[in-house]
Amino acid sequence: MQNIRNIAIIAHVDHGKTTLVDKILHFTNLFRDSENKGDLILDNNDLERERGITIVSKNVSVTYQGVKINVIDTPGHADFGGEVERVLKMADGVILLVDAFEGPMPQTRFVTQKALGLGLKPIVVVNKVDKENCRPDEVYENVFDLFFSLDANEEQLDFPVLYGSSKQGWMSTDWKEPKEDFTDLLDAILKHIPAAPVVEGTLQMQITSLDYSTFVGRIAVGRVARGLIKEGQPVSLVKRDGKIVKSRVKELYVFEGLGKARVTEVKSGDICAVVGIEGFDIGDTIADFENPEQLEVMHIDEPTMNMLFTINNSPFFGKEGKYVTSRHIHDRLQKELEKNLALRVVPTESPDAWLVYGRGILHLSVLIETMRREGYELQVGQPQVIVKEIDGVKCEPIEVMVVDVPAEVSGKVIELVTQRKGELLVMETKGEMQHLEFEIPSRGIIGLRNNVLTATAGEAVMAHRLKGYEPWRGTIPGRLHGVLISLDKGTTTAYSIDKLQDRGKFFVDPGVDIYEGQILGEHIRDNDLTINIVKGKQLTNMRASGTDDNTRIAPAIKFSLEESMEYIQADEYIEVTPESTRLRKIYLTENERKINAKKFQ
């Protein structure tokens, strides 16, 4: 056995994983006192910092009492489950982090199931015990029930539990007796997580993630499963389909603190980064040069949703973006496939459009947002769920959705969810909140979050996870209102918007350039209405008292990218450029829309 522990930190989104890793890094004196330590050190990409979530898993290592602990920080959102599934292969144990008030949430269940299925040893940390209304003892019982329902073995059910507050920087075996630091947690890791074993034999290492350097290109990251790997060693790369490519290791690195340290060899059990292997994909095996043996190929859960990605062909095309052609978009999607395992890209009959399959709205919106920031212009269609035929029956993805909401508005939430073919399974009181659990088709969740937040004045907390495929639940009503569509190209005027405010709510402000066919707002009725808001006031040299009152315009509604994706219908696109997102009809002129109306019925 070596003095190495490989541990992954898993939790529901926003339960404090990245903060916990920060505090472990600080506690093990990874920084000099003079350094500016900051917080959420591992969420180093702009999108992660803005949204306050982890999107890509990260590796760091710390040393405690002479033992190297490799820590893997994982995303908490089920949409990034592909990321979690592959990195768990590198760990020998997991720290399951649970909020002391919320308890195990749907996505906690998703990642815990994967970890227990791989036979990993869990340590449970009940975090945020400094919050009001926290119920650490009840949450501990809930976690035990969760493990039991997931068929955990006896060793896994006998898990150690710690209580604490990552934010305040302490962990303890008893939540009523706060300690000063993280000693109890790190001691528990050394005591309960098995040491990484040394496995003799020829080399075997599975590539579980990618790193990239502008100097040396793509870097393969994974755990050495058997034997040892050396710098300069000739190796065989066994592809997922069994094809063997001969290659050579140029440089080897192990994770040390937040960075990497160059070494000459790495034994089995440690996690390393390999430079010099060409043409690898995630899931490939780096094996012995003469007698290559493949490790079991990773199986990632299937995507549940797809969207059409196409080039931007609006009248404003090319004004804001740097990469606008179909070749640019195709190359970028292929590049994304290398590291985003849960994604699929399928060409369509048109050379300018692709169907992109993903795990959910958030999974796809993060890809679109990343492309937009890199300078791409594109258009995306309405998200569609993937329907399968199982034993001759049409089936669709069904999700388990949990909503925590103030008791007085729970009736509104139940009404909204049942309209979308949701079934109420559990209704119980949690402190001052009502805890509701539903089974609902994935298509029912698209566009639901906005309505629920509006109905509950923003107080509802929603989370969902995929349960599986079940028979089709029938038609779900779409958007209740029609839209206001631009009749002309030009610049919007306050005068026209003011005169048309009784027709609906606007998405655009005065003084904005618009084009024919762009969606400007929501109609008060259920049909679409074409309007002209580029018309200015007729100016004459006559003046009458009262006619020149200032216009009073309600503020425009601004959608985030996810909200836009949930809002649009089958005959609409979102135009995404580095500087703006616009909603538009696929067919821009009224005549074309009438001719093609039957396509979308």
> Tens of pLDDT along 580-598?
899 999 999 989 999 988 8
Lowest mean pLDDT among 381-390, 454-463, 515-524: 454-463
Residues across the chain: 601
CB 506 within 8 A of CB 520: yes
CB 307 within 8 A of CB 570: no
Specify the amino acid at residue 589: T
What residues form DSSP beta bridges with 463? 402
| Angle between helix 183-192 and helix 17-27 axes, rounded to 10 deg | 100
Can you give the pLDDT at residue 77? 60
Can you give the pLDDT at residue 348? 92
Can you give the pLDDT at residue 366? 85
Can you give the pLDDT at residue 315? 92
The three-state secondary structure class of 39 is coil
In the structure encoding, which two tokens stand for residue 528, read together? 């679409």
Is residue 68 over pLDDT 50? Answer: yes
The three-state secondary structure class of 525 is coil
In the structure encoding, which two tokens stand for residue 412, read together? 């509104």
Can you give the pLDDT at residue 35? 43
Is residue 236 over pLDDT 50? Answer: yes
Can you give the pLDDT at residue 29? 66
Distant-in-sequence, close-in-space partners of 121: CB < 8 Å, separation ≥ 6: 92, 93, 94, 155, 156, 159, 192, 193, 194
> Helices marked H in 481-596 — which ranges?
494-499, 561-567, 590-595
Can you give the pLDDT at residue 76? 60
Per-residue pLDDT, averaged over 370-386, amounts to 91
Architecture of domain 481-538+550-597: Beta Barrel (2.40)
CA distances from 359 to 27, 80, 383 (A): 36, 7, 11
Can you give the pLDDT at residue 545? 47
Can you give the pLDDT at residue 39? 47
| Angle between helix 106-117 and helix 136-149 axes, rounded to 10 deg | 50
Question: Of the candidates 424, 430, 368, 422, which has an alpha carbon nearest to the alpha carbon of residue 405?
Answer: 430
Can you give the pLDDT at residue 84? 72
**Same fold for the pair 202-285 and 387-469:** no
Question: Of the candidates 97, 84, 18, which has an alpha carbon nearest to the alpha carbon of residue 52?
Answer: 18
- 80 band by pLDDT with thresholds 50, 70 and 90: low
Distant-in-sequence, close-in-space partners of 242: CB < 8 Å, separation ≥ 6: 294
CA distance 14 to 20: 11
The three-state secondary structure class of 107 is helix
- 42 band by pLDDT with thresholds 50, 70 and 90: very low
The three-state secondary structure class of 542 is coil
CB 185 within 8 A of CB 125: yes
Is residue 48 over pLDDT 70? Answer: no
- C-alpha Rg value of the chain to the nearest Å: 27
Question: Given this structure, which CATH class describes domain 202-285?
Answer: mainly beta
Lowest mean pLDDT among 12-16, 360-364, 569-573: 12-16
Is residue 576 over pLDDT 90? Answer: yes
The binding site comprises 14-19, 127-130
CA distance 487 to 498: 17
Q: How many CB atoms lie within 10 A of CB 136?
A: 20
- 549 band by pLDDT with thresholds 50, 70 and 90: low
In the chain, where the domains are located: 2-190, 202-285, 387-469, 481-538+550-597
Looking at the chain, the whole-number percentage of residues with pLDDT higher than 90 is 17
Is residue 53 over pLDDT 70? Answer: no
Long-range contacts of 573-576 (CB under 8 A, 24+ apart): 573/310, 573/379, 573/380, 573/381, 574/379, 574/380, 575/312, 575/314, 575/316, 575/377, 575/379, 576/312, 576/368, 576/371, 576/372, 576/376, 576/377, 576/378, 576/379, 576/380
Lowest mean pLDDT among 134-138, 251-255, 505-509: 134-138
The binding site for GTP comprises 14-19, 127-130
More reliable by pLDDT, 537 or 345 = 345
pLDDT per position as a tens digit, 456-496: 888 888 877 778 889 998 888 777 889 999 999 999 988 88
- 50 band by pLDDT with thresholds 50, 70 and 90: low
CB 397 within 8 A of CB 442: yes
Is residue 40 over pLDDT 60? Answer: no
Burial class (CB in 10 A: 0-12, 13-18, 19+), 529: middle
Is residue 540 over pLDDT 70? Answer: no
CA dihedral 429, 435, 438, 443 (to 10 degrees): 160
Supply the mean pLDDT for the chain.
Answer: 83
Is residue 396 over pLDDT 60? Answer: yes
Burial class (CB in 10 A: 0-12, 13-18, 19+), 538: exposed
Distant-in-sequence, close-in-space partners of 307: CB < 8 Å, separation ≥ 6: 355, 356, 358, 364, 380, 381, 382, 383, 384, 565
Is residue 163 over pLDDT 70? Answer: yes
Question: Of the candidates 494, 497, 499, which has an alpha carbon nearest to the alpha carbon of residue 486?
Answer: 497
Question: Given this structure, which CATH class describes domain 387-469?
Answer: alpha beta
Distant-in-sequence, close-in-space partners of 545: CB < 8 Å, separation ≥ 6: none
Can you give the pLDDT at residue 169? 79
The separation between the first and the last C-alpha atoms of the chain, rounded to the nearest angstrom, is 65
Specify the amino acid at residue 124: V
Instruction: Phi first, then psi: give them for residue 454, nearest 5 degrees.
Output: -65, -45
Instruction: Phi first, then psi: give them for residue 288, nearest 5 degrees.
Output: -60, 145
Is residue 78 over pLDDT 80? Answer: no
Across 14-23, 29-38, 91-100, which has the greatest mean pLDDT? 91-100
Q: Does domain 2-190 have CATH number 3.40.50.300?
A: yes
